[in-house]
């Protein structure tokens, strides 16, 4: 792929939101209002929140586990597709339209935007879970050039007709990496904390800057919470592959640069 000179690339903001916003209509509405005000090209990636679990319960389905790991069996995949690609995605898109943001909801199957492969594991069959192998950067940038704001749910496909449940944090970093060929990409992970904490018990212990060396030290000390590890791995992976800036914090940080949050650097 032809990489334009960094200085000539326009900027793009890619924001990932998770369950804490998705499950709270007031927080979601406030977030979308802020998101609609981000200037320039932007992309949204959303997780699923509790809606899939709730729907599964309503339908009397039991979540499946093997060795404590959650399995996406066929009924659970259908529920993920219904809630993530259907209910959540389309309601976010409709709300953004009301805010004059021309959003377009996409799964990885649409325009073959994100191709993944069923996760291989010698010990456990995780079911219909996919790991990203390709992003259709050409079509994605074409949409963005036409003033579309893509809104991705965490469903991808394998190119052979199979939909796959995929980690939303990983989708965000993979999209950011592909888009960095065309844009200076700022990747923002929004979650329920102000940032990466040096003490998981103390919400005020936000680390303002964390580089890969700090990360190793904090991991070795055991200060970094287990759920934080894959998230930070995604951040460093994005930075090592062309993404300009990566930060983590509360949803408010997407507009208000005075808020406390964590910036990740290599």
Q: Which of 173, 197, 186 is nearest to 253 (CA)?
A: 186
Least distance (Å) between residue 175 CB and a copy of itself: 16
Residues that bind a copy of itself (CB under 8 A): 55, 58-60, 78, 81-87, 89-91, 93-95, 97-98, 102-107, 109-112, 139, 142, 146, 148, 155, 157, 159-163
Minimum CB–partner distance for residue 22 and a copy of itself (Å): 14
Token match 């060929």: residue? 181
CA torsion sign for 91, 158, 142, 173 is positive
To a copy of itself, the closest distance from the beta carbon of 145 in angstroms equals 10
Nearer to a copy of itself, 52 or 224 (CB): 52
- Cα 201–Cα 203–Cα 207 angle in degrees, nearest 5: 105
Question: Rounded distance, CA 203 to CA 11, Å?
Answer: 31
d(CA 20, CA 22): 6
Q: How far is the CB of 84 from a copy of itself (least distance, A)?
A: 8
Q: Which is nearer to a copy of itself, 153 or 207 (CB)?
A: 153
Task: Say if residue 259 is exposed, middle or buried (CB neighbours under 10 Å; 0-12, 13-18, 19+).
Answer: middle
Q: Whose Cβ is closer to a copy of itself: residue 102's or residue 241's? A: 102
Q: Which is nearer to a copy of itself, 98 or 229 (CB)?
A: 98
Q: Compare residues 85 and 254 and give the one whose CB is closer to a copy of itself.
A: 85
Residue 252 CB neighbour total at 10 angstroms: 16
Of the pair 132, 238, the CB lying nearest a copy of itself is at: 132
Q: How far is the CB of 143 from a copy of itself (least distance, A)?
A: 8
Cβ proximity to a copy of itself: between 94 and 133 the closer is: 94
In the complex, the smallest distance separating the C-beta of residue 39 from a copy of itself, rounded to whole angstroms, is: 20
Q: For residue 249, give the nearest of 231, 237, 230, 236 by alpha carbon.
A: 231
- Closest approach, Cβ 47 to a copy of itself, in A, equals 15
With a CB cutoff of 8 Å and minimum separation 6, the contacts of 103 are 44, 92, 93, 96, 97, 148, 149, 150, 151
What gap in Å lies between CA 196 and CA 92, rounded to an integer?
27
CB-based contact 149:97 (threshold 8 Å): no
Contact 248, 194 (CB under 8 A): no
């Amino acid at each position: 792929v032809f990489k334009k000179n960094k200085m000539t690339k326009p900027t793009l903001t890619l924001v990932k939101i998770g369950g804490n916003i998705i499950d709270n209509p007031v927080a979601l509405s406030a977030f979308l209002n802020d998101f609609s005000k981000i200037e320039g090209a932007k992309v949204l990636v959303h997780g699923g929140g509790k809606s899939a679990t709730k729907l599964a319960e309503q339908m009397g389905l039991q979540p499946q586990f093997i060795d404590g790991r959650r399995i996406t069996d066929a009924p659970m995949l259908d529920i993920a597709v219904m809630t993530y690609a259907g209910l959540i995605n389309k309601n976010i898109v409709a709300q953004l339209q009301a805010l004059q943001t021309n959003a377009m909801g996409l799964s990885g199957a649409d325009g073959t935007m994100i191709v993944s492969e069923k996760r291989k594991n010698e010990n456990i069959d995780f079911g219909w879970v996919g790991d990203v192998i390709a992003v259709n950067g050409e079509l994605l940038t074409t949409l963005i050039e036409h003033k579309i704001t893509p809104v991705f749910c965490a469903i991808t496909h394998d190119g052979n007709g199979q939909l796959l449940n995929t980690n939303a944090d990983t989708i965000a970093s993979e999209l950011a990496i592909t888009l960095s060929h065309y844009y200076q990409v700022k990747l923002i992970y929004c979650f329920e904390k102000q940032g990466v904490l040096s003490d998981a018990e103390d919400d005020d212990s936000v680390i303002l800057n964390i580089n890969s060396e700090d990360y190793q030290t904090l991991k070795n000390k055991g200060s970094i919470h287990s759920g934080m590890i894959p998230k930070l791995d995604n951040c460093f992976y994005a930075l090592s592959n062309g993404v300009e800036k990566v930060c983590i914090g509360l949803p408010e940080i997407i507009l208000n640069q005075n808020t406390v949050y964590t910036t990740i650097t290599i």
